[in-house]
Chain A
Amino acid sequence: MCVRHSHTHTHLAWHPSYDAPNSTSTMAGSQLKRLKASLREQGIIGPQKSKKEKRQTAAQLKAQPDKRLQRHEALASIREQFNPFQFKTNARGPKFEVTTNKPVGDKAAMGIKGRPGLSKARSEEKRRETLLVELQRRNKVGGIIDRRFGEDDPNMSLEDKMIERYTREQMRNHKKSSTFDLEDEDESAGRLTHMGRPLFDDDDDEDVGEIGVRDDFDEEDLPSGDESDTSRAERRRLKRLRLEEAAAEQEEEDGQPERKKTKKEIYEEIIAKSKLHKLERQAAKEEDNELRQELDKALPELQALLFQQRPKEPSKEAGAAEPRLVIAGKDKATVDKEYDIEVKKLAVDKRAQPAERTKTEEEKAKEEAERLKELEEKRLRRMRGEAVEESEEEEEEEEEEESEEKDKKKKDDDDARDPFQAEPEDEDEFGLGKGVKYRPTATELGLDDEDDFLIDDDLVASGSDLEFDSDGMDSDESDEEASGSESGDDERDDDDEFVKGILSEAVTKDAVFQAPENKKGNDENGIPYTFPCPQSHDELLEAFQGVDVTKHPVAVQRVRALYHPKLDSKNKERLGRFSEVLVQHVAYLGDRFEHHWFPTLESLSRHVHSLAKSFPIEVAKAYRAHIQTITDDRPLALTVGDLVILTAIGTTFPTSDHFHQVATPAMLAISRYLGQKIPQALSDYATGAYLSILALQYQSFAKRYVPELINFCLNTLCALAPEKLSERPGFFPVFEPAAGIRISGARDTAVRQLNCRDCLPQQQPLSPADAASLKVAVVSTVTAVLKSAAETWRGLPAFHETFAPAVAVLQHLAASPKSASHLPSQLAARVSSAATSLSHLLALSRLARRPLELHHHRPLAIRTFVPKFEDSFDPDKHYDPDRERAELARLRAEHKRERKGALRELRKDARFLQRETLRIKKAKDEAYEKKFKRIIAEIQGEEGHAAKEYEREKAARKRKARRG
């Protein structure tokens, strides 16, 4: 109550400037009077109190210990109240009368802006503590920091400190004085410390950080068992034992009536114990030694066990052991150097890593399924044309490689496994639901041709640059191999075998690899074992001269083996070029095809495919170059070679991709022919039929629509129909056929399939029978294409519009009166069945048709230009919507403020320093003056004294003379 009252009172008293006129009579009068009055009001002084009253208040004080604090507070407030410059306020008081929820005494509420006196004093104090100390220590080196006990403790009085220090000293001395202590000799006193912490401490619960500081010198490693060098661990253990014993004794003592031992007894006991411990220690040490020796003996075995995976290790170990053996024979420097090198090597050395667990069949299958699933997902993503991020893709590729590698590993596990291991899963590629079957063996697949085997072996193994890194450790790998290597370890074994298998029969000299000259040895088929690596198509033709075309795959395979990238660093480049040449060769052979060459072309294409895995860019460029020549020279007159190349592209590259550097131009070349070619001869129709099939095969997975295909097929049917359609059945362009194209009189022709010979332009007109057979074949093929196109595109939204004309054309073909007499019945049946199935699909598509609802988009917001109003606007706050700019402005303001503050502080510092130096100077001057005066006075005194003595002497002499 009282305190509160005083507060309100002081409140009034703070503002003498405007309170004075209204102030009560108590406020009038001199400063002293007012002081007295306020003191009285606070109850600090009062009228004289009787003894009884005094006692009461004393009791009260005891009861309320905070009374004194209250008193202090009151005094402080009075002090403030009598210093009008204590506060910084508005000259005319607060500007507005405000109602606030802040406490009445709050300085903001009272219009106080600062306490200049207080802050000044505080800053002064701070400077004195920092700046002044620095000033004084300036130009001084060294010094003693007083770290005695309690030096910095302001709560202790000088006496307390003294007492404390004294007790500590005493205690230390007391400990030292135990002269007979055998174990703890000068433990605490003579211990080395670092940063106030002991270097070797004997407590178990030490900090982790200190372990690092501890010397890791292991005494046990020393051969001599010096008694004095008892290990610290031992000591610690003993100490613990002793403590336990002591505790046990205490318990005993607690249990029994206390019997005081004599000093002698105690000492004897201690000595006995210590001897016993010594013995124990020795025994333990010997035991350890034995164990260690045992371990030393077993070390080589252990090491072998540890570094099992790395066959190089033993040799290295041997190499490392060598210098050790000849240590004696070398000077110390070299030994040290070698040692250092060894240490560094060891540091760089890879740690042994646990081998991967051999996987079970199920796990492998699962892994494989997952990998395929992932590949499939990626394909789908590419098909949708979703942007795959570069890095991500690379990662994925890496993963892919990894998984590939795993595959290969897997293959290694089982030698008997056939090389087609990946093939059967091809079926599973899209479904994934069937689960994975175990792989059929080679014999199951009817594989007996060795060449075939080898090719496929090579085909499955795919190179990759990424795997190269892991090769670095291989011991049997020579340097040149390392630079050119591009396949994983596991594959290497395979390939080595693969290469050796060929070379063992031929010349197995290194020179063959280094300088690939033609050292010809031929096998039973007359195929040389070695070839130069053809770098252009002419070279290839020259090299393969004399090799039957059907044996070209063997030759290619031998070239690939001979110039395997691992054999020479240049081989990679050579093979890249070779793969381009091979593409040209496939086209070349295609142009000069024989009917029985297609298996050859197939395996060559597959070779190209497998090379494409290692040299994707080269192969892609070669294919694109071929497409470019097609576009430039013969966009509408494709040769068989072009057809073969386009087919190979379709199998080598994923045609389902939304965009692909090779597949897209290839598809465009196909559709250009289909769309723009106005067929003149029957061969044009045949070529178009081939391309239609190919286009459909390209789109078999992505099911993209190819308008040109429909156009071509329908136009072909219209052109070959025995009778012209009475009206155009759709919107596809119809070209009037050349004379003699329509089928007539082919009633008895057998329906055959088209072959590539049909695509060649006829030099001389075909015989009527041949022509009829070809026409019938074209019609039957095109009908089949239409049918399978309908199957492929059955889900498309405008299926009905697309295929309704087809149905009309087919029906015309099947049902027109003339066709019955001109078409073979087999063909007519096929056509009408196609028409039926198509019309069935049309009905289905009609059922599935729904109105389009393409625009279920979120409605777009209309742009607003109404300014944004702030409900509680604060002028001090920044409402910059541009975040960066706002941040910048904030930083700038802060910087300005800080700068100003720093300047002010610096100025104050300077002033303080000036003041201090002046003070010091004054003090110095004063001291000097004093000293000067003192000396002067001294001299004067001496002078006076001497003068007096002289006077005295003079007087005495005078007197003597007078006397004498």
Chain B
Amino acid sequence: MAAAGSDKASMAGKRKRQESGEASKKRRKSDAGDNDSKTAHATITETIPRLEAEIQESRKHYNNIATLVDLAQKLNEDPKVAFAACEALCRTFLRLLPAGALVKRKDASEKDTTVTNWLRDRLADYKGALLAFLSSKKLAINALTLAMAIVKAEAKHLTDRPEPVFPRHFFANIIAAVLESPVDTLRDYFATNFIRGYDDMRFYTFEAVADYLTQHQHESVDDGIRDILFDLLLNMDDVPASSEALDKFFIELPEKKKHPLRSIIQHKKQVQEAWLALMQRGLSKEQRKKVLGAMATTVAPWFTQPELLMDFLTDCYNTGGATSLLALSGVFYLIQERNLDYPEFYTKLYSLLDADMLHSKHRSRFFRLLDTFLGSSHLPAVLVASFIKRLARLALNAPPSAIVAIVPWFYNLFKKHPLTTFMMHRVPRSQEERERLESEGMDDPFLPDEPDPMETRAIDSCLWEIVQLQSHYHPNVATIAKIISEQFTKQAYNMEDFLDHSYGSLMEAEMNKEVKKPPIVEFMIPKRIFTKAPPGSEESDSLLVSLWDFGSSS
């Protein structure tokens, strides 16, 4: 899409160029009479096409190029004229480059070499002028198009070698200019039309980015640029499936099979380098969360060696809070894909179940992962019991949407680990035990502060919390909590049905029910709602009236 779009754009550009070329020819014919008279009176705008046409006419007018470059460099004085000069120069160089005018040849005459060198110098000047344009608000995108056209032509025709040679230096300058440019649309344009449009552009871009970051290692890179790079990397498309899938090239497909552009690994490596360079710069908290959120889907797949992410992920995982929750999926990705051995994974996981976990907005995400982690039936029942009990404790302070998700999950775990069902049903064994219970009651054997899930003694405890939630104020939550005291006839609950709820969705569900049947109305109309009962009367105040001042003293 993007590629096609850019193609179209470039084609349109070409057409425009051609048309303007023809127009200039016509103009040239029309005012052929005063061809020689270089009057200073003629407006500069009119001179540019003339200068351009003259260059095309004969080599002796090459000096016009210098004039045009001078014009083009006057960006601050008259941007319109300067850009028109740029366009003219672009056309000129696009004509000159395929013609081989800039190719250094060994067998060339001295005069020719001088011309070639001179032209090359002018081209460098022109490039500098173009780069300056990239920071202008109005003309940046147009300038970028011109620059990329020059890049393309240069790659193909600057040397006499058969395969193109990519002008890395110029491109790196372009990238730096793009990054540093204040124009946001320019970056978007570049990202959509070039990075996502062409595989080789992506390759060279990230090469340039990595270079840029390493070059500026010691200076502090501007936060803005860091953010820009971050967004750029984060918004990348999916990884191409194989080397064969690399088929969109801005310049052209290199002939050689071994060429790095044709290898997916090399591509990945460039992105990975860019990422690593960026990460070495340090990320803000928000960016970290973003990276972690996209870790498994967009970041890690670009890495040829995801192990390199390990430190980052472990650091994040150890941070605690929401960051840990997010890092979890990355860690899991490594465990799953790269056989990462994470010491005391479950202890760490257990420590994630803190007071804020059930209130976090990443709750459903976490539960999906937790469901995966505790999905194995080979886990020790003690461990599973710890998780159950801990979550049950948390549920005492949880919003209804979280309770709704927890309880069916408990059910599934109970089904999977029958040993844990003692937490629901524990008949005192001996008479003494019974007597002791009668006389002393009991404490919860669960140790809530124990960090090791194997040592919490949760398996000796009972789920009083869930039984308490069976009298939750929300009818649906109460009903769901009741499943643990009914017979376990169902095989398992589908967790997806319970995960994504919130106050809003629960409320919506309630409000969507149409009132058809007349609702039951309290039979007695209370005598007092806001006012206090007169002193001496037999009625007692409601809780509200006794705790709140409604301003009535009677």
Which residues of B have CB within 8 Å of A612?
521
The total number of A-B Cβ pairs within 8 Å is 264
Is A344 in contact with chain B by the CB < 8 A criterion? Answer: no
Q: Identify which of residues 500-554 in chain B touch chain A, using a CB-to-CB cut-off of 8 Å.
A: 503-504, 506-508, 510-511, 513, 515, 517-531, 534, 537-539, 542-544, 547-552
A598 touches B550 (CB 8 A): yes
Which chain B residues lie closer than 8 Å to A798 at the CB level? Answer: 396, 464-465, 467-468
A460 to B527, CA, bound (A): 11
Q: Is the CB of B529 within 8 A of A602?
A: yes
In the complex, A860→B487 CA distance in Å? 9
B544 contacts A658, C-beta separation under 8 Å:
no
Q: Are B520 and A852 in contact (CB under 8 A)?
A: no
In the complex, the answer to whether A852 meets B467 with C-beta atoms within 8 Å is yes
Contact among B426, B441, B515 with A620 in the assembled complex (CB-CB below 8 Å) = B515
A638 vs B538: C-alpha distance when bound (angstroms): 34
Identify the interface centre among B472, B538, B547, B551: most chain A CB within 10 Å of its CB.
B547
Q: Closest CB-CB distance, A630 to chain B, in whole Å?
A: 9
With A427-B538, A602-B529, A704-B471 in contact, do A800 and B444 touch (Cβ < 8 Å)? Answer: yes
Query: How would residues 720 to 748 of chain A score, 1 for a CB under 8 Å from any chain B CB and 0 otherwise?
Result: 00000000101111100000000000000
Contacts of A856 in B (CB 8 A): 425
Quick check: A731 and B355 within 8 Å, CB to CB?
Answer: yes
Query: Within 8 Å of chain B (Cβ to Cβ): is A706?
Result: yes
Q: Which residue of B lies closest to A714 (CB)?
A: B397
Query: Does B506 contact A609, Cβ atoms closer than 8 Å?
Result: no
Do B393 and A854 have beta carbons less than 8 Å apart? no
In the bound complex, residues from chain A placing their C-beta under 8 Å from that of B355 are 728, 730-734
- The chain B residue with its CB closest to the CB of A422 is B524
Q: A423-B527, A853-B425 are in contact. Are A754 and B542 (CB under 8 A)?
A: no
Write out, one digit per residue, whether chain A residues 329-366 have a CB within 8 A of any chain B CB (1) or not (0): 00000000000000000000000000000000000000
Q: Are A659 and B424 in contact (CB under 8 A)?
A: no
Taken residue by residue from 530 to 547, chain A's Cβ proximity to chain B (1 for < 8 Å, 0 otherwise) reads as: 000000000000000000
The answer to whether A851 and B442 touch across the interface, beta carbons within 8 angstroms, is yes
Return the chain A residue nearest B443 by Cβ: A846
In the complex, which residues of chain B have a beta carbon less than 8 angstroms from the beta carbon of A93? none
Chain B residues, Cβ within 8 Å of A87: none
Q: Closest approach, in angstroms, between the C-beta of B547 and any C-beta of chain A? A: 5
**The one of B399, B513, B538 that contacts A661, using a Cβ cutoff of 8 Å:** B513
- Write the A259-296 contact mask toward B (1 if CB under 8 angstroms, else 0): 00000000000000000000000000000000000000
A651 to B521, CA, bound (A): 9
Question: Using Cβ atoms and an 8 Å threshold, which residues of chain A touch B341?
Answer: none
In the complex, A668 has a CB within 8 A of chain B: yes
CB of B465 within 8 A of CB of A628, answer: no
Could you tell me if A627 and B519 are in contact, using CB atoms closer than 8 angstroms?
no
Residue of B425, B427, B515, B523 with most partner-chain A CB within 10 A: B523
B462 within 8 A of A: yes
User: CA A899 – CA B65 in complex, angstroms?
Assistant: 116
Q: Is the CB of B552 within 8 A of A599?
A: yes
The interface-forming segment of A151-159, A514-522, A693-701 is: A693-701
A854: which B residues are within 8 A, CB to CB? 424-425, 467, 484-485
Asked if B530 and A599 make an inter-chain contact with CB atoms under 8 angstroms apart, the answer reads yes
A797 CA to B475 CA, complexed, in Å: 18
Given contacts A708-B399, A852-B424, contact A602 B530 (CB under 8 A): yes
B515 engages A785 (CB within 8 Å): no
Q: Which of B355, B427, B465, B550 has the most CB of A within 10 A?
A: B550
Given contacts A635-B503, A705-B468, A854-B484, contact A598 B531 (CB under 8 A): yes
Whether, in the assembled complex, A716 has its beta carbon less than 8 Å from a beta carbon of chain B, the answer is no
Look across to chain B and name the residue whose beta carbon is closest to the beta carbon of A731: B355
B474 at interface by CB-CB < 8 Å: yes
Q: Which residues of B contact A602 (CB under 8 A)?
A: 528-531
Q: Given A595-B551, A599-B531, A732-B355, A672–B507 Cβ distance below 8 Å?
A: yes
Q: Does A571 contact B (CB under 8 A)?
A: no
Mark B398-428 against chain A: 1 for CB-CB distance below 8 A, else 0.
1110010000000000000000010111111
- Partner of A731 from the list B397, B442, B462, B529 (CB cut-off 8 Å) is B397
- Interfacial chain A residues near B35, Cβ < 8 Å: none
Q: How far apart sit A690 and B537, CA to CA, in the bound complex (Å)?
A: 26
Contact mask for chain A residues 775-798; partner B; CB cutoff 8 A; 1 contact, 0 none: 000000100110010000000111
In the complex, which residues of chain A have a beta carbon less than 8 angstroms from the beta carbon of B146? none
**Which A577-618 residues have C-beta < 8 A from chain B?**
595-596, 598-599, 601-602, 605-606, 609-610, 612-613, 616-617
Report the bound CA distance from A689 to B539 in whole Å. 24
The residue in chain B whose Cβ has the minimal distance to the Cβ of A423 is B527
Q: Is B371 an interface residue (CB 8 A)?
A: no
Q: In the complex the two chains form, what is the Cα distance from A676 to B400 in whole Å?
A: 12
Task: Check A802 for interface membership: any CB of B closer than 8 A.
Answer: yes
A801 at the interface (CB under 8 A from B): yes
A694 touches which one: B400, B521, B544 (CB < 8 A)? B544
**CA of A707 to CA of B485 in the docked complex: distance in angstroms?**
21
Q: Which residues of B contact A562 (CB under 8 A)?
A: none
Measured CA separation A422–B421 after assembly (Å)? 51
> In the complex, what residues of B have CB within 8 A of residue A671's CB?
400, 473-474, 503
List CB contacts (< 8 Å) of A650-673 with chain B.
651-654, 657-662, 664-665, 667-669, 671-672
Which of B396, B441, B474 is the most central at the interface, judged by chain A CB atoms within 10 Å of its CB?
Answer: B396
CB neighbours of A756 from chain B (8 A): 548, 550
Q: By the criterion CB–CB under 8 Å, are B544 and A733 in contact?
A: no
Residue from A619, A788, A801 in contact with B396 in the complex, judged by beta carbons closer than 8 Å: A801
CB neighbours of A796 from chain B (8 A): 468, 471
Is the beta-carbon distance between B397 and A707 smaller than 8 angstroms?
yes
Contacts of A375 in B (CB 8 A): 523
CB distance from A765 to the nearest CB of B (A): 22
**Residue B463, interface by CB 8 Å:** yes
Bound: A429/B427 CA distance, A: 38
* Cα A192 to Cα B207 with chains together (Å): 130
The smallest beta-carbon distance between A585 and chain B, in angstroms, is 16
* A849 nearest CB across to chain B (Å): 5
- The verdict on B46 contacting chain A, using a C-beta distance below 8 Å, is no
Contact of B542 (CB < 8 Å), options: A628, A676, A697: A697
Instruction: Give the distance in Å from the alpha carbon of A665 to the alpha carbon of B519 in the complex.
Output: 13
Q: Taking beta carbons and an 8 Å cutoff, which residues of A are in contact with B?
A: 375, 382, 385, 420, 422-424, 426-427, 429, 445-446, 459-460, 595-596, 598-599, 601-602, 605-606, 609-610, 612-613, 616-617, 619-621, 624, 627-628, 631, 635, 647-648, 651-654, 657-662, 664-665, 667-669, 671-672, 675-676, 690, 693-700, 702-708, 710-711, 728, 730-734, 752-756, 781, 784-785, 788, 796-802, 846-857, 860
- Which 8 A/B pairs are nearest by Cβ-Cβ distance? A847-B441, A616-B518, A753-B549, A854-B485, A797-B464, A755-B549, A598-B530, A851-B426
21 contacts between A and B (CB under 8 A): A424-B538, A598-B531, A609-B525, A616-B521, A631-B504, A635-B504, A662-B519, A667-B474, A675-B503, A676-B399, A693-B543, A694-B544, A705-B468, A707-B399, A733-B356, A734-B355, A754-B547, A755-B548, A755-B550, A849-B443, A852-B425
Q: Can you name 10 extra interface pairs (CB under 8 A) apart from A753-B549, A755-B551, A855-B487? A: A427-B538, A596-B551, A654-B520, A665-B507, A665-B510, A671-B473, A705-B471, A728-B355, A781-B548, A849-B443
